[in-house]
Structures are given as C-alpha cells and as structure tokens.
C-alpha cells in the first residue's frame, strides 16, 4: 500500500487496476480530529487489491468504518467500485443523486433489466442495432452475457449501495478543513467536488488531469455536457487558479490554468476532426459512423477492456457532435430511432 500526506491531514492512496495501464486512481482521506468523523473522497476500484490497500490505509490512520464518511464525486467504477462494500461495513456515503439519472453509462456497467433496456435505446440512438451493425451488436450482447455469468463482479460493474443525497450549499468539515460542495459538470452530468476556500485546496475528481484529456461522455441527446464542461473549466480557472487541485488521477496540480488550457485545446482539436468527418460529404452520419471515421476503427476489439475504451470513444464523439449541433455548426436529424449529424 502506497500512502503519503499531500497536505496537512490529507492522505493520498494510489491504487492500480492491474489489468490496464490507464487504471491508476487516487483515493484521498481527510483525517478527523480524535474521536470525530473522517472523510474518504471516492473509494477506488471494486477489486480485492484495492480493498486490501484501503483497509490497510484506514487501519494505519486509525479510522474505524463507523466514523467514516465517503464522498463520491461521480458514479464511475474507479471511484465507486468499493462503495457497496464500505457501506456494508458501516461507512456513511454521500453522492449527488443526479449521477443516477440514467442506468446506462459510457464507462460503467450495471446489470439488471432496467440497464439492459436502456442500453438498447442508447445504442439505437448512436446507430448500433442488431439489424444495422450485427457484429458490433453481438459484441455488446456477449459482454452482457459474460458479465451475468461472472460469480465475482467485474471491475467495471458497480454494485448498488445506499447513500445520502448531497444538498445545495452543503459543507463537510473534518479536522481543520471546511469543504464546500462544488459542481463539476462535464466529465459526468452530476459530478461534484469539494473546496476549502481558506486553505485553498480543492478535490476536483476527473474534471482536470495533467497530461490527459478527461472523457466527457454523452449517453443521451441534449445533455449539453461539453458546453457545461467548458463553463465549469472557466469557473475553475477563475476561482480555483491559486488552489492546490487534487484530481482523482495523477499528481496534485499547483497551477491549474495551463492544464485547463491544454484540455480545452485538445477538445477543440477533436471537435475539428469530428466536424471534418461529418461534413466531408453530403451523407449525414450516425454517432457510430462518425466515431469510426474519427478514430479509424477497422476491427471491433475482442478484448473486453479494449472494447470499453472503444465504447468511451463513441461517448466522446457523441459529446462533440452534440456540442457542434448546439453551436449550429452541424445539423441534427432523428430518423428511425437514430440520430444523424450532417452539413448545415
């Protein structure tokens, strides 16, 4: 277990999803005063290794589950993977209920009828169905079946957990810190972070990372996620420019402004590619057709993890297309259950 104190009373535990190099995740613990409650920001992957590391960290800091609050920034598998386990052990969990507004998402898996039904709708919208794209459809269904057969939950699967819904303007106080809940829309619709104005420290989940462009993954039309993301980034630049920014992945960031500029630049570049792909001829394209063009996808990945990566490319392309449509740079049509984007 790798733990270090990154600010007074704030500890960082680095976890790894051993199967993939993308899987590095940092969970943070704010130690409470003696006999008082402590805070964990996110939980890490739903794996035995992560659980052992986190239990070791909690024991080293002498924090029992009954005195532990867990703030979930957003409902992705690397952040909530252990939430159900910790809830059973007695921790109290907090999350924005907006994170559950749909049961199917680009990056996490949920079993159950509801999610499977929604998956079909979502896939249809982006141009994937049994009839139109039989091979790709089959892979989605095979993955569902494979997951249903697993005795242990897959690392991408999030088990249900009880939580207390975050409320507007709520503060969380631990040790010498008073954190405000801040809205960080973009990476997901309801992502939330924490900000201590006096100590100039903010937990900002997956909104910004150094050297990585976070995925803004759209699931349904009209979510406006990229627009909300750009708004959030400009707010962060203005209000949190002098803060120590603690992301969920990678090192803490001392100067966030150039990191934000880099992310915006990279999105604008991607947006250009997406627009070029859509307007290169007269034929309107589905999200899936555009994704294939932009990322040069020729083969459907056999490997489950690679498949998830491809799935997130679809969600990212969807976000770009929706933003271009909102900016009136491309046209959008809805025909036979499919969204089409084309020349104005």
Q: What residues line the site for Zn ion (CB under 5 A)?
A: 78, 206, 248
Instruction: Give whichever of 248 and 284 is closer to Zn ion, judged by the CB atom.
Output: 248
CB of 133 to Zn ion, least distance (A): 28
State how far the Cα of 43 lies from the Cα of 80, in Å rounded to an integer: 6
Please give the biggest Cα pair distance in the chain. 67
CB of 12 to Zn ion, least distance (A): 15
Are the C-beta atoms of 73 and 43 separated by less than 8 Å? no
Instruction: Give whichever of 16 and 37 is closer to Zn ion, judged by the CB atom.
Output: 16
CB of 79 to Zn ion, least distance (A): 5
CB of 10 to Zn ion, least distance (A): 19
CB of 309 to Zn ion, least distance (A): 14
CB of 1 to Zn ion, least distance (A): 20
Instruction: Give whichever of 155 and 339 is closer to Zn ion, judged by the CB atom.
Output: 155
Beta-strand pair 92-95/68-71: parallel
The alpha carbon of 121 is separated from its chain's Cα centroid by a whole number of angstroms, namely: 21
Instruction: Give whichever of 7 and 212 is closer to Zn ion, judged by the CB atom.
Output: 212
Instruction: Give whichever of 253 and 321 is closer to Zn ion, judged by the CB atom.
Output: 253
Beta-strand pair 38-41/201-205: unpaired
Residue-by-residue DSSP string for 230-291:
HHHHHHHHHHSTTSEEEESSSS-BS-HHHHHHHHHHHHHHHHHHHHHHHHSSSS-B-HHHHH
With a CB cutoff of 8 Å and minimum separation 6, the contacts of 4 are 11, 12
SS3 content of the chain, % helix, strand, coil (to 5): 40, 20, 40
Instruction: Give whichever of 31 and 77 is closer to Zn ion, judged by the CB atom.
Output: 77
Half-sphere exposure of residue 22, counting CA atoms within 13 Å on the CB side?
Answer: 10
> Other C-beta atoms within 10 Å of 327: how many?
12
CB of 313 to Zn ion, least distance (A): 17
Instruction: Give whichever of 206 and 322 is closer to Zn ion, judged by the CB atom.
Output: 206
């Amino acid at each position: 277990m790798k733990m270090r104190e990154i600010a007074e009373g704030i500890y960082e535990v680095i976890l790894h999803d051993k199967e993939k190099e993308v899987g590095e995740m940092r969970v943070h613990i704010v130690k409470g005063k003696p006999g008082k409650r402590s805070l964990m920001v996110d939980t890490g992957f739903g794996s035995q290794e992560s659980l052992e590391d986190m239990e070791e960290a909690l024991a080293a800091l002498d924090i029992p589950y009954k005195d532990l609050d867990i703030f979930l920034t957003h409902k992705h598998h690397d952040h909530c993977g252990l939430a159900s386990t910790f809830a059973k052990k007695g921790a109290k969990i907090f999350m924005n209920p907006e994170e559950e507004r749909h049961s199917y998402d680009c990056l996490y898996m949920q079993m159950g009828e509801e999610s499977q039904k929604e998956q079909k709708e979502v896939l249809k919208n982006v141009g994937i169905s049994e009839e139109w794209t039989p091979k790709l459809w089959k892979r989605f269904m095979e993955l569902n079946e494979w997951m249903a057969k697993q005795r242990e939950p897959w690392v991408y699967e999030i088990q249900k957990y009880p939580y207390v819904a975050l409320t507007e303007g709520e503060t969380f106080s631990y040790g010498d810190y008073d954190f405000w809940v801040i809205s960080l829309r973009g990476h997901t619709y309801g992502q939330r972070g924490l900000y201590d104005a006096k100590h100039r420290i903010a937990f900002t989940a997956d909104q910004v990372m150094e050297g990585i462009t976070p995925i803004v993954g759209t699931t349904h039309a009209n979510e406006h996620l990229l627009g909300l993301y750009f708004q959030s980034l400009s707010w962060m630049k203005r209000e949190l420019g002098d803060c120590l920014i603690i992301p969920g992945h990678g090192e803490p960031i001392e100067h966030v402004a150039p990191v934000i500029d880099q992310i915006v630049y990279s999105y604008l570049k991607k947006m250009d590619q997406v627009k070029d792909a859509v307007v290169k001829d007269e034929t309107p394209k589905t999200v899936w057709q555009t994704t294939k063009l932009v990322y040069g996808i020729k083969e459907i990945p056999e490997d489950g993890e690679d498949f998830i990566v491809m799935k997130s490319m679809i969600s990212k392309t969807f976000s770009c297309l929706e933003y271009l449509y909102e900016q009136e740079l491309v046209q959008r049509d809805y025909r036979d259950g499919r969204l089409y984007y084309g020349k104005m």
